[in-house]
Amino acid sequence: MKKILFIAFVLILTACHSNQNKDSHLDIPDQNAGPKSREVNVKIMRFDKDILAMVKDTSTKIIDTLRKRYGSFLDTTYCMQIMRMRMSNDRDLRHHLTDFLTDSDVKAIYKEVDKTFPDLTDYEKDFSAAFTRFVKYFPDRNEPRIYTMISAFNYAVVSTDSAMVLGLDMFLGTDHIFYSSMGFPKYKINRMRKEYLVPQLIEGWMRSEFDGSNTGNDLISQMVYNGKIYYCLDALLPTMDDTLKIGYTGKQMEWCKASEPSIWKYFIEHDLLFTADELKYAKFVTDGPTSNGMPKESPGNIGSWTGWQIVRKYMREHPDITVKQLMENNDAQKILSESKYKPEDSGT
């Protein structure tokens, strides 16, 4: 059984069709897209709106209706794990949810969410296109259901066995007073806008489907694993700008491209690639305002960006390998070797 994956800030469109991928030369393998590839039609389920009925309906019928529609997500995932509510029966559930929904601050959040997301039709179209590609590249897998929620600023994305859940209150816009007043760091606030809604969910689903449990515990394994996830974003969101996939500003992306040889040299000279000491390498494959040890202009997660370039180079070197085969290959050192990745020579 797939574990529930909570992603407070998955690194990294909705109406972003005008943003052409700066790496649009990428030739994503398409061998397994046969005539039977099916079209996915996503309908987002507004859990955030449906639970409001709890305030008006005092009967137990509404709880049964919600359970029938959302299954264990209502009790286990949302109430207990996301909202940390303690309850032993339906009376407790109703009491805690009603208290939450009628709180003045929560009402203010709902008002802002309604204003920012009055309709999700455009998002449904983007998700439909992305998951149509997903089932094409991974014909043995199914697309998730998609719910929306108000998480009280706890999570942007949550993944369960068969569903992805979006915390709409985490995408209200970089200038929203909620975020600055709560002390979110600037580099995170920069991504708390609706342009990141679709790519964050898609990344979350790919991390849930390919959870990295077979990934090695050294830096290069973590780099390549993250690189494979971002390569999937290349495949599923082909017109999206790279900055939105990984959550960098345009200036940060320019720095990465200009500094790619020196970034790689840094990992080599400091003997970092094959270290299994998480204290040494974690800062290079996790989110942050910058990558400690590198120039202040560097963004966080620089190791994952480098892993992304390694995977892209590997796939260019092996055009017969499908996206599915890539994701099933957990030999990071082999991928590195066969990628022939040497930015100081190739300029990749």
Q: Is the pLDDT of residue 34 over 60?
A: no
**Is 136 a residue whose pLDDT tops 60?**
yes
Backbone angles phi, psi at 149, to 5 degrees: -150, 170
**Is residue 5 within a helix (H) or strand (E), and if so which, with residue range?**
strand 5-7
User: Who contacts 109 (Cβ-Cβ below 8 Å, separation ≥6)?
Assistant: 150, 152, 169, 178
Q: Which among 335, 337, 219, 196 is positioned nearest to 280, based on CA atoms?
A: 219
Q: How far apart are CA 246 and CA 308, in angstroms?
A: 10
Residue-level pLDDT at 12: 32
Cβ of 291: how many Cβ atoms within 10 Å?
A: 22
Per-residue pLDDT at 297: 93
Q: Tell me the C-alpha distance between 107 and 129, whole Å.
A: 33
Report the amino acid identity of residue 28.
I
Q: Tokens 């069709």 correspond to what residue?
A: 17
pLDDT, greater one: 161 or 138: 138
Range 35-73 burial, b when 16+ CB lie within 10 A, else e: eeeeebebebbebbebbeebeeeeeeebbeebeeebbeb
Quote the pTM value.
Answer: 0.90
Is pLDDT of 183 > 60?
yes
Q: Which amino acid is at 296?
A: K
pLDDT band at 24 (very low <50, low <70, confident <90, very high): very low
Helix orientation angle between 61-70 and 90-101, rounded to the nearest 10 degrees: 90
- The CA–CA distances, whole Å, from 151 to 110, 157, 163, 165 equal 11, 10, 16, 10
**207 contacts 144 by C-beta, under 8 angstroms:** no
pLDDT band of 91, cuts 50, 70, 90: confident
> Any bridge partners for residue 5, and if so which?
159
Residue 309 pairs in a beta bridge with none
